[in-house]
Amino acid sequence: MLDADLKAQLKTYLERVTRPIEIVANVDDSEGSRDLRGLLEDLVSCSDRIRVTEQSDPAVRTPSFALNSPGEDIHLRFGGLPLGHEFTSLVLALLQVGGYPPKVSDEVIEQVRSLKGPLRFETFFSLSCQNCPDVVQALNLMAVLNPDIEHVAIDGALFQDEVERRQVMAVPSVFLNGEPFASGRMGVEEIVAKLDTGASAREAAKLNDKAPYDVLIVGGGPAGAAAAIYAARKGIRTGVVAERFGGQVADTLGIENFISVKETEGPKLVAALEEHVRQYDVDVMKLQRAAALTSGAEGLELTLESGATLKAKSLVIATGARWRQMNVPGEDEYRNKGVAYCPHCDGPLFKGKRVAVIGGGNSGVEAAIDLAGIVSHVTLIEFDHQLRADAVLQRKLNSLPNVTVITAAQTTEVLGDGQRVNGLQYTDRKSGDSHQVALEGIFVQIGLLPNSDWLKGTVELSSRGEVVVDARGQTSIPGVFAAGDVTTAPYKQIIIAMGEGSKAALSAFDHLIRQAAPEPARKAA
């Protein structure tokens, strides 16, 4: 099941285990069970602390396996084979069940342990989803720390009947005690915040008490991370406030244009960025969304949606961008019920079904190509009279037998039966005729929208909503700089955002040192 190199790496990791691990596999004679047996045999061969037993309980998902340690009360189970992106989740689960301490703060650990149950979580994931591991790993950890918490991670592609029955149309999808709880990328802090209703108020009170920052960076993507590192290296008080670390990059699958790195994945790059930032004396404040910015005689004030206020002498806006929506009837109603924005994550849930891709740029055409290998048919709809993707991608697309391309078409409505998507409506921009396409899924790939709504009426914005900056990253407000995808800087690329973030931090530092120094106190006569 596992190749020799992977087994060698796994053996090294499992040397950190300090207590025995007991795995109970629920299997039968199916191919999936045979594959699971092979995986578990490999695990046993990598550590003498792992013991595997088998059972065949029809009331338990098959194939699946539970992890525990003798004398502990841990309720953690994988439904299916956690390979692909989820192999890391399996390795971390083994380490944590085996006594290896988690890499989270003592405060978060205490919050998890204080949660009252029973809390029975189920997470549906796909092996191709780069966002799923964060959720799976967070809930696995919570199950290890708190006996009142149970977690089952379920491969949606393997348990299609259950996916259909529970109407799971996007991953990661989390259920709590049988009811929908959340969807999308989340970490431990975010999950705990949803469960602990008083956490937000307590955190806001802490933030209000913080001393003013020399440089406060709003946003934790590549631009924000670079700005934080460059500012901290100057020895000035630096803070980063962000809803989540990594921003849009965390949702990116393959990255092959980051100079000096042949290829990587978004989550890996985000983890490296955060690790680098935390090597410096940077105050990182997560799960916070900016609400307003004011400038006065006493400096800058950033108001957060939590109600907290942070003060700063200078500020770098690096809030990035988000997926652009179609803004047509039915889109919001059927979000995660057939309307999706990540083909890599949600594509496997539409195996054998009919889908549409909206957008004929590189992202849209790449999505159509990927989906064509999974679904029964792809309809690509482009507003313009021709596709805008690179020629090599168009040639690949046109070679696929199960893809239909419709140009000069404006999507006007997402159709559904009240529970899920069953079609879309578009208008032919040449004839004006309206058409309907019967399908089960719609993947929107029409670009990005800057996260600048909170700045309207405060700083100068372009017609596209981008923060207007000069060559130094300066905005229309003195002492306020901006960088990355939220700005008018051309070419929205990771490496460019990092350069712009570094430049903005240097400009902020230059601004600070040029401020009038206070007059020295006069000596008494």
Active-site amino acid positions: 342, 345-346
CA-to-CA distance for 173 and 39, rounded, in angstroms? 25
Name the token pair of 145: 């720390």
**Tokens 């100079």 identify what position?**
259
CA-to-CA distance for 68 and 147, rounded, in angstroms? 11
In the three-class reduction of DSSP (H, G, I as helix; E, B as strand; rest coil), residue 100 is classed as coil
- H helices of 166-241, in order, are 188-195, 199-208, 222-232
CA-wise closest residue to 91 among 150, 136, 147: 136
CA-to-CA distance for 413 and 435, rounded, in angstroms? 11
> Phi and psi dihedrals of 309, rounded to 5?
-130, 130
CA-wise closest residue to 146 among 189, 110, 173, 107: 110
DSSP letter string over 18-83? -S-EEEEEE--SSHHHHHHHHHHHHHHHH-TTEEEEEE--TTS-SSEEEEE-TT---EEEEES---
DSSP letter string over 263-294? -EEHHHHHHHHHHHHTTSSEEEE-S--EEEEE
> Alpha carbon 513 to chain centroid distance?
37
CA-to-CA distance for 516 and 384, rounded, in angstroms? 54
Name the token pair of 242: 């962000």
Strands 434-438 and 441-444: unpaired
